[in-house]
């Protein structure tokens, strides 16, 4: 056993998958699930994602070696702060939020004599949500970004790295700012574009949709609440990404309008090259 | 056997898959592949997609009951016309092109005493191309749009329907114009958007791309030549689709800029509803 007690605050897709991975790999003696709704907590227990549950955060984190906050990004900072007030001084606090800059800034006063917070973001997920979609192998082979600050003790970084590596992820270290700028392009902008595209489809055309459109819009099925939160926390970088996207789209539009197939071909070939790099 | 000889002009992903399906289901005594490059034709024979091959269209179609032209859309009308000049009078001509209006218009003088052309478009494909990616079940459970005109004889429609149904597709009848308008939204616009999105990704961020961005841009790996052709043949409807997309994206941008989370939530919820309808 690597840990005695791990507390997971928010046992949906991410928190539930972390619980499953910890329990199935026998990495923790006890996984405690903390949540607001007894019904979700019951489902998490039934799914085998947690050993025990509570709706009271202060009680759930009391014995924990590690607390991982897996709630929507707008709630993470408050919950980490509350956990810090009720956990042991040697407890390690981290999260799984899709944005990092604001969360890390808001928690920059933690540490010192008290428990340390290190931000993290496993790049795993799905358009589905809830513990029903959780999978023990969700983090296997995925990247997890860890965002320490210059003040983060080395030991705390090592412990967060060990947690995500233990469930199969590869840890990449970035500043919170660099993380948010990158994710604006690699995740938040694609989501915004998929949303716009899904909304553009006139009703009645469903039957004429093939795999291309289906894949291109899949993530638009994601939970609107989660994504409004993410967009809000990374608004400026997302708007920068959107500007860059607009520029690309404008080039394509001009080539189409002017019937310039040579330019159109060049733009499509560039995009293919860029996409092929993703494998 | 349903047919004696079927000639397939262009044995790439679509033509090759059709050949595989016809041969594996023993629907034709003989499948003849027609192509420009001996190397592609050899690969098609080796893949089991055709029984015989020729680079000379006029010879390949001479004995055919059915000719299916599966080449890039800019070449289809010419090749159907050439096939019509060299095939039997009772031969049925069809195609598998992603656009229909221009092709059907350009061939509107066919028929009468000579062979009849009926346009068709199986909504199956992939970002891959070439006979190496061909699959006998490519059309299974997919929709194939057939675009007869008021002058198309009933018998010819029935024969085209029988062909696509025999390889597993469900046939939907539309006018060429309605087809092109619908596909502008369900296929050509998503492709254009995926291309713009793939090009927006700054180099060096590949590692931070998760499944969302990967799926959203997958089709941008498609063959640029094929897609320039498709865009050219459906330019006006595609630009209409792009205008509708711009409107959706502008609403999202305004909500982001003005930090109006209520509107943002409504837009995301609408998109989710639209996407969830696709299943």
pLDDT digits (tens, 9 = 90+) for A64-92: 999 999 999 999 999 999 999 999 999 99
Q: Please judge whether A126 and B271 are an interchain contact, meaning their C-beta atoms are less than 8 angstroms apart.
A: no
Q: Which residue is closest to A250 within chain B, CA to CA?
A: B196
> A206 touching B, CB under 8 A?
yes
Q: Could you give the CA distance from residue B189 to residue B180 in angstroms, rounded to a whole number?
A: 12
B window 249-278, beta carbon within 8 A of A: 249, 252-253, 256-257, 259, 261, 264-265, 267-272, 274-278
Residues of chain B with CATH 3.40.50.720: 3-174
pLDDT in tens, A96-109: 999 999 999 999 99
Pick A231's closest partner by Cβ from B200, B221, B264. Answer: B264
How far CA A59 is from CA of A14, A16, B25, B29, in Å, comes to 21, 19, 65, 75
| Helix H or strand E segment including A251 | helix A235-257
A window 111-130, beta carbon within 8 A of B: 123-127
How far CA B208 is from CA of A97, A186, B165, in Å, comes to 15, 6, 43
Q: Could you give the CA distance from residue A80 to residue A78 in angstroms, rounded to a whole number?
A: 6
Residue pair B116/B152 in contact (Cβ under 8 Å)? The answer is: yes
Is residue A170 very low, low, confident or very high in pLDDT (cuts 50, 70, 90)? very high
Nearest to B213 by CA among A237, A130, A159, A275: A275
> B141 touching A, CB under 8 A?
no
Q: Please judge whether A265 and B225 are an interchain contact, meaning their C-beta atoms are less than 8 angstroms apart.
A: yes
Res A258: pLDDT: 98
Specify the pTM: 0.94
Q: Which two tokens stand for residue A54?
A: 């509570």
Fold of B3-174: Rossmann fold (3.40.50)
pLDDT (tens, 9 = 90+) of chain B, 279 residues, equals: 789 999 999 999 999 999 999 999 999 999 999 999 999 999 999 999 999 999 999 999 999 999 999 999 999 999 999 999 999 999 999 999 999 999 999 999 998 889 999 999 999 977 788 999 999 999 999 999 999 999 999 999 999 999 999 999 999 999 999 999 999 999 999 999 999 999 999 999 999 998 899 999 999 999 999 999 999 999 999 999 999 999 999 999 999 999 999 999 999 999 999 999 998
Cα distance from B18 to chain A (closest Cα, Å)? Answer: 18
Write the CB contacts of B13 (distance below 8 Å, at least 6 apart in sequence). Answer: B125, B126, B128, B129, B130, B131, B133, B134, B138
Nearest to A10 by CA among A97, A110, A84: A97
Q: Which residue is closest to B207 within chain A, CA to CA?
A: A143
Q: What is the mean pLDDT of residues A43-66?
A: 97
**Distance from first CA to last CA of chain B, Å, rounded?**
36
Residues of chain A with CATH 1.10.3660.10: 178-276
CATH of B178-276, one of 1.10.3720.10, 3.40.640.10, 3.10.620.30, 1.10.3660.10: 1.10.3660.10
Q: What is the mean pLDDT of residues A184-201?
A: 97
Q: Count other C-beta atoms under 10 Å from residue B272's C-beta.
A: 20
Q: Which residue is closest to A268 within chain B, CA to CA?
A: B224
Q: State the best of B102, B170, B179, B208 to mutate against chain A, taking most chain A CBs within 10 Å.
A: B208
Res A47: pLDDT: 96
- ipTM confidence: 0.93
Output b/e per residue, A53-80; b: 16+ Cβ within 10 A: bbeebeebbbebbbbbbbbbbbbbbebb
Tell whether the model's pLDDT for residue A36 goes beyond 80: yes
């Amino acid at each position: 056993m690597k840990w005695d007690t791990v507390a997971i605050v928010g046992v949906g897709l991410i928190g539930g998958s972390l619980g499953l991975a910890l329990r199935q790999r026998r990495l923790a003696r006890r996984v405690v699930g903390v949540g607001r709704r007894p019904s979700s907590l019951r489902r998490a227990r039934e799914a085998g994602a947690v050993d025990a549950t509570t709706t009271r955060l202060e009680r759930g984190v009391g014995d924990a070696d590690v607390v991982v906050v897996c709630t929507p990004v707008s709630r993470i900072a408050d919950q980490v702060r509350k956990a810090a007030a009720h956990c042991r001084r040697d407890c390690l606090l981290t999260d799984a939020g899709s944005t990092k800059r604001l969360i890390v800034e808001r928690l920059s006063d933690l540490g010192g004599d008290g428990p340390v917070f290190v931000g993290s973001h496993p790049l795993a997920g799905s358009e589905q949500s809830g513990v029903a979609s959780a999978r023990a192998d969700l983090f296997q082979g995925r990247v997890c970004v860890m965002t320490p600050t210059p003040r983060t003790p080395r030991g705390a970084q090592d412990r967060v790295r060990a947690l995500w590596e233990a469930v199969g992820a590869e840890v990449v270290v970035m500043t919170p700012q660099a993380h948010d700028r990158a994710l604006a392009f690699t995740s938040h902008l694609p989501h915004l574009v998929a949303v716009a595209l899904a909304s553009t489809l006139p009703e009645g055309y469903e039957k004429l949709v093939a795999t291309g459109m289906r894949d291109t819009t899949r993530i638009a099925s994601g939970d609107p609440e989660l994504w409004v939160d993410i967009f809000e926390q990374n608004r400026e970088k997302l708007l920068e990404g959107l500007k860059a996207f607009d520029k690309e789209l404008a080039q394509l539009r001009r080539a189409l309008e002017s019937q310039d197939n040579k330019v159109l071909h060049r733009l499509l070939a560039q995009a293919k090259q860029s996409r092929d790099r993703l494998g």
